[in-house]
Structure 1
Amino acid sequence: MNIKSLLLGSAAAFVAITGARAADAVVVAEPEPVDYVRVCDVYGKGFYYIPGTETCLSVGGYVRFQYNVAGDPARNLEGDDYQAGSSVRARLNFDAREETELGTLRAFARVQAQNNTVSQPDSALGASYVMDQAYIQLGGLLVGYRDSLWTSGVGGLEDGLLTDTDLVVGDINTNQISYTFAANGFSASLGLEDDRTGDIVPDVHAKLVYSGAWGGAYLSAVYDETFNINDVPGTVQINGVNVTLAGVYPTLLQDGNNDAFALKGGVLLKNLIAPESQLKIEGHYAFDPTIYAALTGIDTVSTLSNSQFTNAGIPLILEWAAGAGYAQAFGKLGIAVSGQYGKTFDATLFNTRTGLTTVRDGEYWAAVANVGYQITNNFATLGEVSYKNVDFGGPVGDLDQVSGFIRLQRDF
């Protein structure tokens, strides 16, 4: 065999092998289809379809830093008796919605964590992690935990005056079930709420709201089946005098029943005085003492959150109150002011110096002012100052407080 024959034979063998392999089909695996996140514009900005579903989800919230200053109730709030501290809050809102044959199905949850520093550290005030709201909606039906129907913003009209300290009466969260009928800017709601007393009968709430381009108006009513006497403190100190609340609220319920009824109404007017302006007027009347007529007032330096006057030793249940607020925007700058005046229910206190003291026609009033500025998109600052005063007269005297804060907040 010569070299030429060897080369020709090798070439023929190589061609044969290559042809045999080429006869086998090469199968290339196709890539899995990718379900990209799609924008859901059915419910407004910020919603996206959860991949593989028809459910739209929005995640938002804010991070807030706040420096607080508040008069110290333990020192009668005079002179330089102020405390100062800072707080940081992180809030997340989860909103999931989809359309069904019975209407929009929605689940909403709000969780937040807050860390505080105070001049005298207290572990109870140092940090908090809470489920602030969680509820389900199907059409007009709502079940879950959130602001009471007495104060919630049904129909797009929020309760409260226009400052950050909005002076809302009866501002509480509770488990509830309600139904709202809405059409052409009008809504009517009826709800049952857990009063946290353990009895079988819930509180009953009703609310009518109308909202339009000009503003809106609302009327709320509540039947409080049982006033929770556990909300009333025992021995407290008012103006340096030890005071025991000697059956304050049972003496008010002279018919022997624990139930109560209250009404509240308000109106909001937009652009009435000037462009980008809002004017809000609100008021309530309670036929009997009820937690829904309790005013959130005296602040704590840890949060400047709305805590009840009872925390400072004064049971402040308002028989009636009226207030107004005004807000004006000037581009990135905004200002707001609000004020409120009311009368407390009569009460009987036991004063360790003077004995029994009947408090009648107690007066309450408050004033709030703030200035805010939009530093850049989704980042703003707000400064606010408030003054609150309640005067029971006689040996009990009055209690007042000046408080305020400076805030930086990044929304997302």
Structure 2
Amino acid sequence: MSHHVPNAPDRPSTDPVWTPILTGLHATALDCLQTSFALLADHANGSGSHLALGARYGFRTRDQDGLVTVEATSDDRAAEAVDLLGLRVEGRWMQLDGPQVRRLAAPGQPLYVTADAYDLPWCPYHGHEHMRHSFLVTAAEPDEVTVVDAYHNDTAWGPARPGVWRMPAAAFDTALAGGAHTLAVTTHPAPAIDVPAMLAGNAARAARARPEIATYLARTGAALDTVAGLHRFVLDVWLLARARDLHEHWLAAVAPEAAAALAGQAARWQQLATRSYVALRRAQAGRPAAPELADALGALMADHLAALESMAGPAAGTGEDAAPAAPDRAGDDGVRAAVLGALGDTLDLDGSTLRTTDVLRELPGFDSFRLVDVIDRVERRLGVEVPATALTAADLRDVGSLCAMFGAATGGAR
């Protein structure tokens, strides 16, 4: 259960310094440990400086709780920030409590802090899920602490969005009662990146990574028959997709012609993220998992590696086009009613006003978690189960394609 934090902030505020920086951040391509380093880089060296975090391709795995993962550690992210952003870690303290962190805070010297998101009242993970999460402490008065958190994600407990929170000191101390790791970070001019040399290095690293990736995929696939293995798979897909997106953003800024080699990949990664989350939800409900997910991840990773290797040549490939929109079909009346009813109930909308051409991601309140709820509702109402392989980008684009997908699952008539 969530414990109560007295006077906990419920809404972010604006800040003349940090709000514009938050607005310019590519937060949807950063993990929760990178975001605060990105803030420091843009604060020191200007908007977009953080994109250098996506310059270098690398693939590294480690074991965690008996499973293999690509999740980076805090030390990994700090080393990247030092190497690519020009940051310097001048002080490091482990397991500090709130008053100790407040005493370290100095005007003009933000602190990089990581703590358990389960205890942080501005996070949707508060009281729900344990994970290391970073934020900046940018000011600390005797009775108030200013926290800047750039994390952007949709979660099962609501959206996390970048913001500035001014917290009562007592609430801040309660949030950090479990201990916080704290870094004093100084900023310096960002190192220059030799783009052609970086692209050539990325191609070489991509080629060298292939054996380790093969081992990783084999181990990951072997664990997909467990809820823990699927949970880890969902997180890894999310992390790999964000790393790829960040690299594409960096390329678009420094070498647009090379970025073309990655065109169309983002939508396919999002599709796999949705499929893997559906599989996890089904496994948690006692239904069998989808072992083909590892093969789907392998195919995406192979395409990414091929694109990276192509960038070392004189010209990058054109990449794949985004998946085409599905035909505007709504299926039979029973399927249409089930889909519209599920969308209306899940998103609190009047289903009768929806059109088959309405794009799902543009509906108010829609995100991947709500999509899974919609799929569950329609499957229960129609008494069918859509194969995981049918959850394609085209099938999940708009209301009409969603109806068509369920129409196919029912055999075309009910």
The TM-score range, normalised by the shorter chain, is under 0.3
Per residue, is there more strand in 1 or in 2? 1
What TM-score, normalized by structure 2, do the two folds share? 0.20
What TM-score, normalized by structure 1, do the two folds share? 0.20
